[in-house]
A = this chain, B = another copy of it.
Amino acid sequence: MSTQSIRPVKVKRKYTRSSPGSVLYQSGDTIVLCTASIEDGVPPWLAGSGKGWVTAEYNMLPHSTNRRKRRDRDGKVDGRTTEIQRLIGRSLRAVVDLERLGERMVTVDCDVLQADGGTRTASITGGFLALADALYPEFRKTPPAEHPLRDSIAAISVGIVNGKPTLDLDYEKDFAAAVDMNVVMTGKGQFVEIQGTGEEATFDDDELAALIKLAKAGIKQLTKIQQESLGKQWPLA
């Protein structure tokens, strides 16, 4: 498979009826159920500020991997999970104007049904769709300039696999990657997060530049898919 193209993406919006935003997001063999709800009120440290909050939780279902993964039920959410859900929340907040949101709390749950690499980036890209759907009923008549959503957001992984800059790593490529980078960007092409890690390896300026370029191309395609999926809802006219 090409190292320069993203994996096929499938999006099912309104997957379940119990939450206002419910998106089954599939990228290759990675499947994430992203659901979002909105409720009045905010965490204690924001009460009275007039600002809202967006938070995310990330979870892999036990059988999402070939070897069953234990549930996080013993009061110790593992470090990887914590990092990922903090990243998802931060990324989604980057395109939300919390003051326009008002004292409301949006919770986006990303439950991985099947994992084949790129679950955190799929959670961000799919999570944005669930977020947009959850906000839609309440803000459908809000003019774009006052709408809490300022932009769309999407994410992709890139890495150096067998010495070659590679886009959208599945599990196998991720495992083989010497350098692994997750890039989060807005629909308008601004960076929100760059997290690059040498896995028992290092990288230089040229490699950094190549990875960034590849990621930008991937995000562009994802942004288009998000746009088509949301249809008339997006972009805010």
Contact = CB atoms under 8 A, between A and B. Distances in A.
A68 B90 CA distance: 21
A11 interface: no
Interface in A55-89: 57, 59, 61-66, 68, 71-77, 79, 82-83, 85-86
A176 interface: no
Interface residues of A, number: 63
Nearest to A207: B191
A16 B29 CA distance: 9
Given A75-B74, A194-B194, A212-B208, A61 B33 contact: yes
Number of copies: 6
Interface string A32-71: 0101110100000000000000000101011111101001
The dominant DSSP class at the A interface is mixed
Nearest to A193: B197
A128 to B, nearest CB: 15
Interface stretch (A17-25, A135-143, A221-229): A17-25
A90 B62 CA distance: 20
23 contacts: A16-B31, A16-B64, A17-B114, A33-B61, A36-B63, A57-B71, A59-B71, A62-B109, A71-B72, A73-B73, A75-B75, A79-B82, A82-B82, A82-B83, A83-B86, A90-B197, A94-B198, A94-B202, A190-B204, A191-B196, A191-B203, A192-B198, A195-B195
Interface of A: 16-19, 22, 29, 31, 33, 35-37, 39, 57, 59, 61-66, 68, 71-77, 79, 82-83, 85-86, 90, 93-94, 98, 107, 109, 111, 113-115, 181, 186, 189-198, 200-205, 208, 212
